[in-house]
């Protein structure tokens, strides 16, 4: 572990508090029966879980798998043309990323809630985002940057050929 990766005492306390608050919130959500659970408990449980996952799991994925290099130019910097490639503020990029992850949630969770109650649906959304959605989106974005800004459909076509990439290419309007 590099010295810049070590967790300071202050960070340990902050993330310890976040972990305890998230655990309490998950406990309340899990044991409270009926429809009287406040939405604040869901928000606290989800935000606490996301913050812990971002700090620890996200850093693990970044350091062990992606290993980003800040000295490499992004396609927005390399091909800046004011239309397809242009540097964008991180808040805008975050908004696009969030919208992509949140897309299927409103479709899947109500079905799960109707079948099994609200807790399985909530667990599906929160831990699905942590373990699959956010990682997959980050992976595709990172690969796109390394492949000169290509879309997922274009990358599939490059690797699999036009027949093997038929489904992803037809789903991507930029191909």
Domain boundaries, the chain: 1-67, 75-175
Cβ(152)–Cβ(144) below 8 Å: yes
Residue 40 scores a pLDDT above 70:
yes
- In whole angstroms, give the CA distance from residue 91 to residue 64: 25
- In whole angstroms, give the CA distance from residue 52 to residue 55: 5
* CA distances from residue 81 to 21, 127, 155, 159, 175 in whole angstroms, order as listed: 46, 38, 21, 26, 19
How confident is the model over 127-152, as a mean pLDDT? 81
Residue 175 scores a pLDDT above 60:
no
Give Cβ neighbours of residue 22 (< 8 Å, ≥ 6 apart). 44, 45, 47, 48, 49, 51, 52
Cβ(57)–Cβ(91) below 8 Å: no
Confidence of residue 13 (pLDDT cuts 50, 70, 90): very high
| pLDDT of the residue at 1 | 46
| pLDDT of the residue at 49 | 94
Return the percentage of the chain with pLDDT > 70, whole number: 83
Task: Give ∠ CA 121-127-130 in degrees, rounded to 5.
Answer: 145
**What digits encode the pLDDT tens for the residues 46-104?**
999 999 998 888 888 888 887 878 888 888 888 888 887 888 888 887 777 777 666 66
Residue 123 scores a pLDDT above 80:
yes
* Mean of per-residue pLDDT scores for the chain: 80
Terminal Cα-to-Cα distance of the chain (whole angstroms) = 41
Helices 9-31 and 118-128 meet at what angle, rounded to 10? 150
How confident is the model over 117-138, as a mean pLDDT? 81
Residue 154 scores a pLDDT above 70:
yes
How confident is the model over 43-48, as a mean pLDDT? 93
Residue 113 scores a pLDDT above 60:
yes
How confident is the model over 113-126, as a mean pLDDT? 79
Residue 150 scores a pLDDT above 60:
yes
- In whole angstroms, give the CA distance from residue 30 to residue 17: 20
- In whole angstroms, give the CA distance from residue 44 to residue 18: 9
pTM: 0.68
| pLDDT of the residue at 54 | 86
Helices 134-146 and 152-164 meet at what angle, rounded to 10? 80
């Amino acid at each position: 572990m590099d010295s810049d990766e070590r967790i300071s005492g202050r960070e340990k306390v902050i993330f310890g508090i976040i972990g305890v608050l998230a655990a309490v919130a998950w406990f309340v959500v899990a044991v409270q029966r009926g429809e009287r659970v406040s939405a604040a408990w869901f928000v606290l449980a989800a935000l606490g879980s996301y913050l812990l996952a971002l700090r620890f799991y996200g850093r693990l994925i970044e350091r062990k798998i992606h290993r980003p290099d800040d000295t490499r130019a992004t396609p927005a910097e390399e091909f800046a043309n004011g239309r397809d490639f242009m540097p964008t503020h991180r808040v805008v990029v975050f908004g696009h990323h969030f919208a992509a992850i949140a897309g299927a949630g409103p479709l899947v969770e109500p079905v799960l809630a109707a079948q099994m109650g609200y807790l399985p649906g909530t667990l599906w959304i929160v831990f699905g985002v942590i373990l699959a959605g956010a990682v997959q989106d980050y992976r595709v974005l990172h690969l796109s940057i390394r492949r000169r800004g290509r879309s997922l459909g274009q990358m599939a076509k490059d690797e699999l050929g036009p027949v093997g990439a038929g489904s992803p290419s037809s789903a991507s309007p930029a191909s």
